[in-house]
Amino acid sequence: MTRPFDLQNRPLSPSNALYGALTRAAVAIGRLDQRLHNHPLLPAILFRERLEAARICARVDGYVIDQWYLAAELEGLRPVIPGEDAIDRGSFIDNAKIAFEQYRWLVQPTRIQTTQIRQTTELLRSESAAVGPLLGAARAFHRWIDDANSRSPMRGALVAFWQETGLLRVGLPLTGTRAFASGTSWERSAWLPCFLDALADEAEGIHARVLGLERQWHHARAHSGARRRNSRAGTAIDLLAAFPLLSATRLADLLDISLKAAYLLLERFLAEGLVTEVTHRTARRLFALKGFEPLRDAVLPPVRPLPGRKRGRPRCDDSAFSMDIVEVVETAEPAPVPFEPLAIDYTALEEAIALIDAAIARSQVFLNEES
Say whether pLDDT at 313 is over 80.
no
pLDDT number for residue 5: 40
pTM above 0.75, yes or no: no
pLDDT number for residue 8: 46
pLDDT number for residue 165: 93
Give 144-194 pLDDT, tens digit per residue.
999 989 999 999 999 999 999 999 999 999 999 999 988 889 999 899 999
**What mean pLDDT comes out for the span 1-30?**
69
* CA atoms of 172 and 249, how far apart (whole Å): 29
Say whether pLDDT at 222 is over 50.
yes
pLDDT number for residue 318: 56
* CA atoms of 340 and 338, how far apart (whole Å): 7
Of 166, 162, 67, 47, give the one whose Cα is nearest residue 108: 47
Domain boundaries, the chain: 16-213, 225-298
Say whether pLDDT at 325 is over 70.
no
Say whether pLDDT at 14 is over 80.
no
pLDDT number for residue 327: 44
Question: What's domain 225-298's architecture?
Answer: Orthogonal Bundle (1.10)
What lies within 8 Å, CB to CB, of 200 at 6+ separation is 21, 24, 25, 27, 28, 29
pLDDT band for 348, please (50, 70, 90 cuts): confident
Give 51-89 pLDDT, tens digit per residue.
999 999 988 988 888 888 888 888 888 888 877 778 888
Give 253-287 pLDDT, tens digit per residue.
999 889 998 889 999 998 888 888 888 887 788 88
Residue 24: other Cβ atoms inside 10 A: 18
Contacts of 55-62 with CB under 8 Å at 24 or more apart are 55/99, 56/177, 56/178, 57/99, 57/102, 57/106, 57/151, 57/152, 57/155, 57/175, 57/177, 58/95, 58/98, 58/99, 58/102, 60/177, 60/178, 60/180, 60/181, 61/98, 61/102, 61/151
- Judge whether 68 and 81 are in contact, CB under 8 Å: no
